[in-house]
């Protein structure tokens, strides 16, 4: 008989190299925080998970990890209750509410779910290893053998500002349409992606329209998306929808909040996708009733894990709303988790987002690869990936050496190094 009592939980905060990718709030810092979670059972099985690593997540993850010991690995529903109990003790976390981040309203509840997801994935990985089954089998079984991802194009600088410690990459700058097309070509050649998403909200809308037009010219008939993270007014959103309606698969979060999205949706035929106005189960009713979105981009991190992702997909199916996947800077553990759950979602009609190609560093012995824009669903037990302890230790040492300035993602602060007057732009920006 297996003894699946959790006896040890390890939390390893790390800093991972990140290129100078631009978004409406600023620019990515040279290193981004992530948290690697390991759970170990009485009979020696270890499972890994990954989630956000900023201080506020760590503050919740630490007491959570302590209280997880002694519980059963298979008690996945209990993780949510445990998170509630831990959050009650950590009252600072209860106060964490911030409107308008890149993933919608930041609430204490969402923060809790983001922490739960790291542990849920680690428990599923360990459970799969203990039973000799892949995670997708624990979720009910895959309905496809590989998952399609989209190229995630970013406006970017060639390098982080001079004098800032960083890792250099060779992607070069992309601030003009021709450079965006060159970036897309490289994504296509290297990874075989066939659909392209451009992160917008960076330059005035006409410049971004020109970039999407250039992509449409270079890749005729391919699915294209533009995501300004809610930076536009309703009027601007409608103008962009009109200009690009013939080439867009969908427009992602053109305007901020469900009422504005609903108005845009009502007045254009271009489908709208979101990872900002539907980010929790509580936000679904208003958005679906108002027909504000046609595609929900799930993110297992802040939706509370892989099983909640499946539940969201079922709700979307019931309402005839499409579902796909949002991404933030992440490593291979999360890509494996995303791939397992995406493989189990029947109506996944859009290629998923992933930042993974932008991350040259990882904590796995072998990186996951894209072929024809797709990741094969891992078939080994659990997530089917293996932690590289040396790489993990290296990235953890970087976190330890940091004076605290990079331990919390702050794209506006990173932008102020170049532009000291920069503040997070008021919305709508255009
Ligand atoms: O990495 O800069 C970024 C993105 O803007 C990210 O933070 C967003 O959450 O990719 C995300 C999105 O689709 O909105
Ligand atoms: Mg988005």
Q: What is the pLDDT of residues 80-90, one digit of tens each?
A: 999 999 887 76
In a domain, 416, yes or no: no
Answer yes or no: do 130 and 155 share one domain: no
pLDDT per residue over 152-162, tens digit each?
A: 999 999 999 99
- Residue 144's pLDDT band (boundaries 50, 70, 90)? very high
- The answer to whether residue 407 sits within a structural domain is no
Ligand 1 binding pocket includes 23 (Cβ within 6 Å)? yes
Q: Can you read off the two tokens belonging to residue 308?
A: 């909640």
Which residue segment(s) compose the domain that 300 sits in? 140-376
Are 53 and 90 a contacting pair, CB within 8 Å? Answer: no
Residue whose Cα lies nearest atom 1 of ligand 1: it is 328
Task: Tell me, using a 6 A CB cutoff, whether residue 229 lines ligand 1.
Answer: yes
Q: Given this model, what pLDDT does residue 106 score?
A: 84
For the chain, the average pLDDT equals 96
Give domain status of residue 425, yes or no.
no
Statement to judge: residues 329 and 276 lie in one domain:
yes
Q: Which helix (H) or strand (E) holds 146?
A: strand 146-148
Q: What average pLDDT does the segment 211-228 reach? A: 98
The CATH code of the domain that includes 16 is: 3.30.390.10
Q: Tens digit of pLDDT for each residue in 318-350? A: 999 999 999 999 999 999 999 999 999 999 989
Q: Judge if 262 and 240 occupy the same domain.
A: yes
Per residue in 33-85, pLDDT (tens digit) is 999 999 999 999 999 999 999 999 999 999 999 999 999 999 999 999 999 99
pLDDT value, residue 63: 97
Find where tokens 């960076």 sit: 202
Identify whether residues 132 and 179 lie together within a single domain. no
Q: What is the mean pLDDT of residues 247-263?
A: 98
Same structural domain, 322 and 340: yes
Decide: 225 in ligand 1 pocket, CB within 6 A.
no
Residue 283 lies in a domain: yes
State the CATH number of the domain containing residue 205: 3.20.20.120
**Among 156, 152, 144, which residue's Cα sits nearest to residue 190?**
152
Q: Counting atoms of ligand 1 from 1, which one is nearest the CA of 102?
A: 9
Q: How far is the CA of 297 from the centre of ligand 2 (A)?
A: 8
77 shares a domain with 18: yes
367-426: pLDDT as tens digits: 999 999 999 999 999 999 999 999 999 999 999 999 999 999 999 999 999 999 999 999
Tell me: do 212 and 333 sit in the same domain.
Answer: yes
Rounded Cα–Cα distance for residues 287 and 276 (Å): 11
Q: Is residue 421 a part of any domain in this protein?
A: no
204: left (phi over 0), alpha (psi -120 to 50) or beta: beta
Query: In 257-308, where do the E strands start and end?
Result: 272-274, 295-298
Tally of domains in the chain: 2
Q: Is residue 406 part of a domain?
A: no
pTM summary value: 0.97
Are residues 256 and 157 part of one domain?
yes
Percentage of the chain modeled with pLDDT above 70: 97
Ligand 1 pocket residue status of 199, Cβ below 6 Å: yes
How many Cβ atoms sit within 10 Å of the Cβ of residue 405? Answer: 11
Same domain, 301 and 355: yes
CA of 199 to the centre of ligand 1 (A): 7
Are 169 and 87 contained in the same domain?
no
Rounded distance from Cα 143 to ligand 2 centre (Å): 26
* Alpha helices for 290-403 (secondary structure H): 300-303, 306-319, 332-344, 389-401
Does the pLDDT at position 93 exceed 60?
Answer: no
338 shares its domain with 244: yes
Least confident of 99-113, 165-179, 336-350, 356-370: 99-113
pLDDT at 109 exceeding the cut of 70: yes
Any domain includes 411 = no
| Confidence tier at 98 by pLDDT (50, 70, 90) | low
Residue 103: per-residue pLDDT:
86
Q: Which two tokens stand for residue 313?
A: 């997909």
pLDDT at 88: 72
**pLDDT reported for residue 90:** 65
Amino acid 423: pLDDT: 96
What is the distance between the alpha carbons of residues 94 and 85, in angstroms, rounded to a whole number? 11
Provide the pLDDT for residue 105: 82
- Classify residue 95: in a domain, yes or no: yes
Query: Residues 211, 212, 216, 218: what is their CA dihedral angle, to the nearest 10 degrees?
Result: 30
- Distance from C-alpha of 272 to C-alpha of 250, rounded to nearest angstrom: 5
Are both 119 and 145 inside the same structural domain? no
């Amino acid at each position: 008989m297996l003894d699946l009592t959790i006896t040890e939980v390890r939390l390893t905060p790390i800093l991972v190299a990140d290129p100078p990718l631009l978004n409406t709030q600023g620019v990515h810092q040279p290193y981004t925080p992530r948290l690697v979670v390991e759970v170990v059972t009485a009979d020696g099985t270890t499972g890994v998970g990954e989630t956000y690593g900023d201080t506020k997540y760590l503050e919740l993850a630490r007491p959570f990890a302590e209280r997880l010991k002694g519980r059963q690995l298979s008690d996945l529903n209990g993780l949510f209750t445990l998170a509630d109990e831990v959050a009650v003790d950590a009252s600072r976390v209860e106060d964490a509410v911030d409107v308008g981040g890149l993933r919608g309203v930041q609430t204490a509840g969402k923060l809790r779910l983001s922490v739960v997801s790291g542990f849920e994935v680690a428990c599923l990985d360990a459970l799969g290893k203990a039973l000799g089954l892949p995670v997708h089998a624990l979720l009910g079984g895959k309905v496809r053998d590989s998952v399609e991802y989209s190229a995630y194009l970013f406006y970017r600088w060639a390098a982080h500002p001079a004098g800032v410690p960083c890792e250099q990459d060779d992607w070069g700058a992309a601030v003009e349409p021709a450079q965006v097309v060159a970036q897309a070509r490289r994504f296509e050649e290297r990874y075989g992606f066939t659909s392209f998403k451009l992160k917008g909200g960076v330059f005035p809308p006409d410049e971004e329209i020109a970039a999407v037009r250039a992509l449409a010219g270079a890749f005729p008939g391919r699915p294209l998306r533009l995501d300004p993270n809610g930076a536009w007014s309703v009027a601007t959103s409608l103008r962009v929808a009109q200009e690009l309606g013939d080439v867009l698969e969908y427009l992602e979060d053109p305007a901020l909040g469900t009422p504005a999205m609903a108005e845009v949706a009502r007045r254009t035929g271009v489908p709208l996708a979101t990872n900002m106005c539907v980010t929790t189960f509580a936000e679904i009713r208003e958005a679906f009733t108002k027909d504000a979105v046609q595609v929900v981009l799930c993110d297992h991190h802040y939706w509370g894990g892989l099983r909640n992702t499946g539940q969201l997909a079922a709700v979307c199916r019931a309402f005839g709303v499409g579902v796909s996947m949002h991404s933030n800077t992440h490593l291979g553990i999360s890509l494996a988790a995303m791939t397992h759950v995406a493989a189990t979602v029947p109506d996944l009609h859009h290629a998923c987002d992933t930042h993974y190609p932008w991350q040259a560093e990882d904590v796995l012995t072998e990186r996951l690869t894209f072929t024809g824009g797709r990741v094969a669903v891992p078939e080994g037990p659990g997530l089917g990936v293996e932690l590289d302890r040396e790489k993990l230790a290296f990235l953890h040492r970087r976190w330890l050496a940091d004076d605290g300035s990079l331990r919390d993602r702050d794209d506006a602060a990173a932008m102020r190094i170049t532009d000291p007057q920069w503040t997070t732009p008021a919305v709508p920006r255009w």
